[in-house]
Structure 1
Amino acid sequence: MFINRILIRNFFSQKNKFADSPNVIRDLGKVTKDLYTVPDHIKKPHYYHVLNKPSRTDGKIPIKNEKQIAGMRKSCKLAANILKMCEEIVKVGTTTEEIDKILFNKIINSNAYPSPFRYCGFPKSICTSVNNIACHGIPDDRKLMDGDIINIDITVFFEGFHGDCSRTFEVGNVDDVGKNLIKQNKEGLMRAIKICKPGACFNEIGAEISKYAKEVDFRNVRAFIGHGIGEFFHGPPEIYHFENNINMEVMKPGMTFTIEPIYSEGSDELELWEDQWTTSTIDGSRTSQHEHTILITENGHEILTLPD
């Protein structure tokens, strides 16, 4: 559920333990408007040339053949290895635009395309969501502060296939609640992944994520879904991260999709800011998100986005 931006300003003006934090993101930062140049030799998705609308995520779930699976393994491994680089570049005083520039160059130098760039008009190559920004944060001029937590979401388009993953990182000295939020969010993802195998129902994923969030006393954000991925950036199946009877289809070998739950230390309600991308919790509470791309195999599953 999204609410008007003015409500968060009013809410933040009231006393609450989250909004009083100096690390709360209250306003959009300055985003450099100069677009990156992608070299001619880099294979580009169709939306690079024409402004598109979000892809449909309903419909028949594709079953990938061995050649397509091999392509997915390459793109996902590349995305995972680039995400791992962030362990070295996420530091106090670094801006998210600086991180974006470093990763853009790394992706291009790997002969890949940063999938978010120009997708529905998105201006940067990665998403950086800091503290109370739950998802789709645009890299800007804000410097990372001691105690921040930041989700970095990387998708690459390599040799015709998209590979997608994300992780929440600590910046400097993070308090115990923040550390635990990150830890339990990752554990919630891994528990959901363990469910994945031929014959399992997709709605079991959301049930497990919700169940675990309750066990560890965090709120499970329901506003975003995982998605099928491959030669398309977003497609079927839709992966709901909450208890549901919406997607009752069963998993079959050759299906590839993302699981990307978000946990919050406070409210699970979000608002959409005026850039039409940035989403924040309504109370300024921090969120954590982790994401992997999964392949259903004959005997279970394979996590495609594990780094070397």
Structure 2
Amino acid sequence: MIHIKSNRELDLMRQSGKMVARVLMELTKLAVPGMKLIELDQAAEELTLSFGAKPSFKGYIGYKHSLCTSVNEQVVHGIPTDRVLKDGDIIGLDFGLSYQGFHGDSAVTIAVGAVSDSAKELMLITKQSLYAGIDAARSGNTIKDVASAIENVVKPHGFGIVKEFVGHGIGQKLHEDPQIPNYAAGASTLKLKPGMTIAIEPMVNRGTHKVKVLGDKWTAVTNDGHLSAHYEHSIAITDGDPEILTAWENITSNSDIQELLKQLKEKGTYGQRGPNPA
């Protein structure tokens, strides 16, 4: 069942979306060579709790962390561990939180230090496909229109669009109806209506579209070991342009975040090594 959000509910989702954007923005600054994945997870949770919000992922179907950290060939749902980021890695940061009962969900893939041209191309095309999908997410258009827009950006480059994992509705639940595939053949002709809120999230592989889940039951990796990229925004369907609820442009000031980060680093919140990630 698809829940059409009221103006009050949309306002709450804007607030949760802004918080998600703030957390991700700070995580991208922390994701440098020498940083442990678990330290990124700790930072995400500390920031979330400081907002009076709750991590959406922690406890979801038994997941034990607040953040998903997918490195290189890892596609989605990578578990934060003591793995240390290295120069040349790419990392997908997937994060969600709940504020006053409404969820926000977003993901970004970033370069750690200097990365290869092939990695840069993959990230660029995947990001472009996300915004193509968002642009197609207009009242009267269908889910298939969104999926086709994503596929039309990716397909000319010969990259693999992941089929096992798709976008979704979002609101009082992290995952709601409808599903939002990233390829036309898997998408419905359901028409989008104002008040619908969805998370669009293309996952694109440098090689084959096929993936497998590792023994930890969470981490999905590419079958051929090639790189994967993942971008996501939560959006609202309106009478006009789609509204990106998790857009970083919505953040007018992050001075409060900077002060909080300073305090967390002084406490050594990011792990045993304290404030120095090197």
Q: Please report the TM-score for the alignment, with normalisation by the length of structure 2.
A: 0.88
Question: Which of the residues 125, 145, 156 maps onto 1:184?
Answer: 125
Question: Which of the residues 246, 258, 267 maps onto 1:305?
Answer: 246
SS of 1:244's partner is helix
Aligned equivalents of 2:140, 2:232: Cα separation in 1: 22
5+ residue gaps, structure 1, are 1-59
Q: CA RMSD in A?
A: 1.0
Structure 1 residue 128, shift from structure 2 partner: 0.4
Question: Which of the residues 104, 126, 135 maps onto 1:194?
Answer: 135
Aligned equivalents of 1:245, 1:115: Cα separation in 2: 27
The reply on whether 1:218 has 2:136 as its aligned counterpart is no
Aligned equivalents of 1:208, 1:197: Cα separation in 2: 12
Aligned equivalents of 2:216, 2:222: Cα separation in 1: 16
SS of 2:184's partner is coil
Whichever residue aligns with residue 223 of structure 2, its letter is I
Match of 2:264 in 1: none
The reply on whether 1:163 has 2:109 as its aligned counterpart is no
Structure 1 residue 110, shift from structure 2 partner: 1.0
Question: Which of the residues 264, 268, 284 maps onto 2:205?
Answer: 264
Asked whether the 8 Å contact 2:159–2:209 carries over to 1, the reply is no
Higher helix share: 2
| 1:74-128 Cα shifts (integer Å, max 9, x gaps) | 0011101110112210010111001101111111111111100010000111100
SS of 1:183's partner is helix
Aligned equivalents of 2:197, 2:191: Cα separation in 1: 13
The reply on whether 1:123 has 2:73 as its aligned counterpart is no
Aligned equivalents of 2:168, 2:28: Cα separation in 1: 26
Structure 1 residue 219, shift from structure 2 partner: 1.7
Match of 1:45 in 2: none
SS of 2:34's partner is coil
Match of 2:7 in 1: 66
Structure 1 residue 245, shift from structure 2 partner: 5.8
| 1:44-70 Cα shifts (integer Å, max 9, x gaps) | xxxxxxxxxxxxxxxx21111111000
Give runs of ≥4 in structure 1 deviating > 2 Å. Answer: none
Question: Which of the residues 141, 150, 162 maps onto 1:209?
Answer: 150
Match of 1:13 in 2: none
SS of 1:145's partner is coil
Aligned equivalents of 2:80, 2:17: Cα separation in 1: 22
Identity of aligned residues (%): 36
Aligned equivalents of 2:45, 2:173: Cα separation in 1: 20
Asked whether the 8 Å contact 2:27–2:43 carries over to 1, the reply is no
Question: Which of the residues 73, 79, 86 maps onto 1:145?
Answer: 86
Aligned equivalents of 2:68, 2:199: Cα separation in 1: 16
Question: Which of the residues 235, 239, 246 maps onto 2:176?
Answer: 235
Structure 1 residue 244, shift from structure 2 partner: 2.2
The reply on whether 1:90 has 2:67 as its aligned counterpart is no
| 1:224-252 Cα shifts (integer Å, max 9, x gaps) | 11111111111101101111264211000
Q: Please report the TM-score for the alignment, with normalisation by the length of structure 1.
A: 0.79
Aligned equivalents of 1:162, 1:145: Cα separation in 2: 32
Question: Which of the residues 287, 298, 303 maps onto 2:228?
Answer: 287
SS of 2:94's partner is strand
Aligned equivalents of 1:180, 1:113: Cα separation in 2: 35
Match of 1:254 in 2: 195
Whichever residue aligns with residue 122 of structure 2, its letter is L
5+ residue gaps, structure 2, are 252-278
Aligned equivalents of 2:147, 2:140: Cα separation in 1: 16
Aligned equivalents of 2:104, 2:25: Cα separation in 1: 14
Structure 1 residue 300, shift from structure 2 partner: 2.8
Aligned equivalents of 1:98, 1:105: Cα separation in 2: 11
